[in-house]
Amino acid sequence: MTKNIILKQLSATWLLFMIAFVAQAQVLKPSSWSYDVSKKEVAVGEEVELIFNVKIDKDWYLYSSDFDPELGPMVTTFSFQKHPSYELVGKIKPVKPKKKYDELWEGEYTYFVGTAQFRQKIRVLQPDLQVKGNYEFQVCSDVTGQCIPFDDEFTFTNKQISVSGTAAPAAKPAQESKKKAAAQPAEEQQKAQQAEQPAEAIPDLATAAAAANTEDTDTAAVPATATPGDDAIADNDETSTVSAIPDEEPATAGGDGLWAFMLVAFGSGLVALLTPCVFPMVPMTVSFFTNSGGSRAQGILKAVVYGLSIIAIYTLIGTIVAKLFGADGANFISTHWLPNVLFFVIFLLFAMSFFGMFEITLPSSWLTKVDSKADQGGWIGVFFMAFTLALVSFSCTGPIVGSILVASAGGETLRPIVGMFGFSLAFALPFTLFAVFPSWLSGLPKSGGWLNSVKVVLGFIELALALKFLSVADQVYHWGILDREVYLALWIVIFTLMGFYLLGKLKFSHDSDLKYLGVPRLFFAILTFGFVVYLIPGLFGAPLKALAGYLPPQSTQDFDLNTIARQGGGGSTAVLAANVNQNCEPPKYSEFLHLPHGLQGYFDLEQAKKCAAEQGKPIFIDFTGHGCVNCREMEQNVWSDPEVLKRLQENYVIAALYVDDRTELPESEWYTSTYDGKEKKTIGKKYADYQITKFNVNAQPYYVLMDENENMLVKPIAYDLNVDNFVKFLDAGVEAYNNKQQVAQK
C-alpha cells in the first residue's frame, strides 16, 4: 500500500515537472484578437467605428496605447494603409484601460486585463471599401515573469461593412483632403502629416486565433510597410501609423495610485494648517460658530456646512484644472520642454515666496466683495465665509495647492479632483471638529515664529521639487544641464541649508529670534542631515533606489565608482571593450544598444559566435527587449550581484539579442522566415524569429548558454530572481563547455 502511494506521488511529481518544462519551452499565445464594426451598413460620406476586441489569458496583461511611448513598455500601435475608399477620423481610442505607476519605469502606464477594446473612427469615401493595416502590441505576466511582443494584420472590406451610394472619382478624396489641409493652420498640418514608421516586432502568432474568432475577416497578406528605401511603392500603398492617444480620457482604474496621491494631498492639507495665514484663523472661526446666535446644534450644523463648503470650493478648482488639461495634454505635459520648464519656474517662485522675498496675494477688491457676502449671514453667508478663508489664506496655501495641481496635471480627469478633495478634507476637518468640541481649542499651541519656520521649510522642499521638472525637460531634449551628479549636488546643498535653518544657523527676514532649540525641531534637523548623508554616496554611483523616481538616470552620471570597479580600473569605453573582448572586433550597434552594469558584449549573434571561437569561451545569450520590464528586473536584482557579474564578465561572451528593436538591417541581410513566411527586415524581427525557430519560445527574458556552433550547453532558463539559481546556471554552462572541449581534444 505504501509502495503504491509512493509510486503515485513520484508519478504526480514527474507529471508536474513535465508540464512545467513544456510550459516554459513553447510558443505562447496569451491573447486572441477579433474585429467588429459599430454598424453594418453605411452610406458614402458617413462615419463608422472599427472595433478591435482582444481576449487576454488569465495572469496576463496587455499594454494599452495611450501612455508615453518613451516610458519603456511597448505601446500598442496601429498602422493603416492609405486607400481612396476611406479616411481616418481622429485617433485610436482604447476603451477604459487600467492605470498603474511603475517604479522601475518611473512613470505611469495603461494596460488591460481579461479583455481589451480599441476603436478607430473612419469616414467612408467610396463604395468599394478597403481598410488594411497591422498592429503591434506586447503582453506580459507578473506570474511567470515573461513579456512577449506580437504583431498582426487586419482587413475590413464590404464583407463587414455594406456601403451604399455613388462612387466618387478616385482622385477626389485626395484633392479634398489637400484643400482641407491648405485651410488648416500650419501647426495642425504638421501634426496631421506626422506618421511614425510602423515598427516590426515578432512573427505573427495571433493570426490563427484572430481568424478563428472572425470567420468573415479577410486575412490576405498586406504589402510590406514602406521604408525610406522603398521609392517604388505608390502613394496608395503608404501606411499611416496612428498614435493612439485618445480624444477622451479613459476611465481610471488605477485605484492604488489615486489613493496614494489622495493621502499625499491630505498630508499637504494638514501642513497648510500650520502656516501663518491659516493657523490663527482656526480659533477665530470656531469661536464665531460657537458664540453666534441660535442653539448649539445649529452652530455645529453651520460649522459642518462651512467645512463642506471648503471642500466644495477646492474640489471645484480641481475639476476645472482637469477639464482645462484633459487627456490630450498628458503626452504634451509629460514630454514637452515648455510645460516642464514652466512648472520649474512656478515652483521656484513658490519657494521664493515662502522664503519671504514677496507674497503671492489676490487683489484686495476680490476679498472685499466676498467678505461683504459673508456678512449677510444665513447659509449663503456660511459659504462665502469659506470662500473668504480660501482667498485670505491664498498667500500660504497657493504654493501648496499649486504643487498638487502641477503634480496631477498629467492629462488625467480624476487625479486633480482627488488631489483637491484630499487637500480640502484635511484643511476643513479642524474647523468642523473644533466647532463640535470647542474645549479642544485650549490645547492648541499659541501662534508665533514657529509658523514662519514651517513656511521656510516648505520653501526648501519646493525648491528641491522644482528641479524634477527641469530634469524631465533636460532628459527629453538632451540639454545636459542636470546630469545625475549635478542634480544630487544641488539637492545636497538645499537640504544641508534646510538642516542649518532648523538648527537656527540661518535666519530670514520674517524669522523671530530662536532662543533655544526645541526637541521637535532637533529631530527634524536630524532627519534632514540623515537624508543628506544618504544622498552623498549617490555622487559616486550609489543607486539610491528609494529616490529612483526623482533622480535622473544613472547613465547620465559621468563618474560612477561601481562601473569603474566592475570594469577593472577605469579608462575609456573603447579601452574597456578591448580588454574584455580582446582580439575580437568592436560590437555592432553599440552606439545605441548597451549592456547594464558596465558589461561588454555583442548585439549581433554572428559577432558573438566569432569572438567566442577566438577566445575559447561559451556564449551567454540574453533574449531581451526595450519594453521588457522583467528583463530590467533581472538585470537590476540578479545581474547586479557581484558573483553573477564576475561570471558574466570573465567566463562568457555576452550576446544581448533585442527582439523588439526597430533598427532596419542592411538590405543584404533581409530574409524570409521559414516559420511564418514573412520577410524580416529589422534587428528585432530577426532575433524574435531566431528565438522561435531555434528554441520554440517567444517570451522574454530567456537565457541560453551555447557554444560557438550554437549547441546548447544546459537547459535554458527564464525569469527567476533567485541569485543562487542564476549562479548555478552559469557555472553549469562553463562546466558543460569545458567537458565538450576535453572530449573534442581527445
111/219 same-domain check:
yes
Given phi > 0 = left and psi -120 to 50 = alpha, else beta, which region is 544? left
Cell of 611: 569572438
Share of the chain above pLDDT 90, in %: 21
336/275 same-domain check:
yes
Q: Is the pLDDT of residue 7 over 50?
A: no
Domain annotation covers residue 526: no
Domain annotation covers residue 496: no
Give the C-alpha separation, 490 to 247, whole Å: 39
Given phi > 0 = left and psi -120 to 50 = alpha, else beta, which region is 41? beta
pLDDT band with cut points at 50, 70 and 90 for residue 483: confident
Identity of the amino acid at 487:
Y
Say what the pLDDT of residue 239 is.
43
Mean pLDDT value of segment 598-610: 92
- What are the E-state strand segments in 95-229? 98-102, 107-113, 115-124, 130-140, 147-157, 162-164
Which has the higher per-residue pLDDT, 201 or 111? 111
Residue 299: CB atoms within 10 A of its CB come to 20
Say what the pLDDT of residue 389 is.
64
Q: Is the pLDDT of residue 604 over 60?
A: yes
Q: 579 and 621 in contact (C-beta within 8 Å)?
A: no
Mean pLDDT value of segment 204-209: 36
Domain annotation covers residue 457: no
- Identify the CATH number of the domain in which residue 222 sits: 2.60.40
pLDDT band with cut points at 50, 70 and 90 for residue 663: confident
**Domain count across the chain:** 3
Say what the pLDDT of residue 555 is.
62
Say what the pLDDT of residue 384 is.
67
Give the C-alpha separation, 719 to 144, whole Å: 7
308/221 same-domain check:
no
pLDDT band with cut points at 50, 70 and 90 for residue 394: low
Q: Is the pLDDT of residue 261 over 50?
A: yes
Q: Is the pLDDT of residue 84 over 70?
A: yes
| Complete DSSP assignment for 669-685 | G-EE-TTT--EE-BHHH
Share of the chain above pLDDT 70, in %: 63
Weakest-pLDDT range from 129-133, 152-156, 293-297, 374-378:
374-378
Identity of the amino acid at 530:
G
Domain annotation covers residue 666: no
* Cα–Cα distances in angstroms (integers) from residue 421 to residues 413, 535, 721, in the given order: 13, 33, 40
Cell of 523: 529631530
- Identify the CATH number of the domain in which residue 654 sits: 3.40.30.10
pLDDT band with cut points at 50, 70 and 90 for residue 159: confident
Domain annotation covers residue 434: yes
Say what the pLDDT of residue 211 is.
37
The residue from 396, 422, 444 where one domain ends is: 444
Say what the pLDDT of residue 494 is.
95
Domain annotation covers residue 409: yes
pLDDT band with cut points at 50, 70 and 90 for residue 51: very high
Pairing state between β 115-124 and 86-94: antiparallel
182/324 same-domain check:
no
- How many CA within 13 A on the CB side of residue 216? 9
106/224 same-domain check:
yes
Which candidate, 104, 73, 70, places its Cα nearest to that of 334?
A: 70
Strand partners, 54: 33, 116
- How many CA within 13 A on the CB side of residue 266? 11
Domain annotation covers residue 633: yes
284/152 same-domain check:
no
Q: Is the pLDDT of residue 10 over 70?
A: no
40/179 same-domain check:
yes
- How many CA within 13 A on the CB side of residue 658? 23
What is the chain's length? 746
Q: Is the pLDDT of residue 279 over 90?
A: no
Domain annotation covers residue 538: no
Cell of 178: 489637400
Identity of the amino acid at 607:
Q
The residue from 389, 414, 444 where one domain ends is: 444
Identity of the amino acid at 539:
L
Weakest-pLDDT range from 30-34, 115-119, 385-389:
385-389
Compute the mean pLDDT over every residue in the chain, rounded to the nearest whole number: 73
**pLDDT single digits (tens) 400-455:** 666 666 665 544 557 777 778 887 787 778 777 776 666 665 555 555 566 678 77
The residue from 216, 242, 268 where one domain ends is: 242
231/269 same-domain check:
no
- How many CA within 13 A on the CB side of residue 8? 5
117/83 same-domain check:
yes
Q: Is the pLDDT of residue 90 over 70?
A: yes
Give the C-alpha separation, 306 to 427, whole Å: 11
Which has the higher per-residue pLDDT, 449 or 163? 163
Identity of the amino acid at 401:
V
Residue 265: CB atoms within 10 A of its CB come to 29
Q: 530 and 492 in contact (C-beta within 8 Å)?
A: no
349/230 same-domain check:
no
pLDDT band with cut points at 50, 70 and 90 for residue 576: very low
646/606 same-domain check:
yes
Q: Is the pLDDT of residue 152 over 80?
A: yes
Give the single-character DSSP code of 228.
T
Range of the domain at 722: 580-659+700-745
Which candidate, 686, 669, 689, 743, places its Cα nearest to that of 711?
A: 743
Pairing state between β 653-658 and 619-624: parallel
Residue 704 dihedral angles phi and psi, to the nearest 5°: -125, 135
Q: Is the pLDDT of residue 612 over 90?
A: yes
- Highest-confidence segment of 173-187, 206-220, 564-578, 698-712: 698-712
Q: Is the pLDDT of residue 218 over 70?
A: no
Q: Is the pLDDT of residue 207 over 50?
A: no
231/294 same-domain check:
no
- Highest-confidence segment of 308-322, 407-421, 532-546, 611-625: 611-625
Which has the higher per-residue pLDDT, 439 or 23? 439
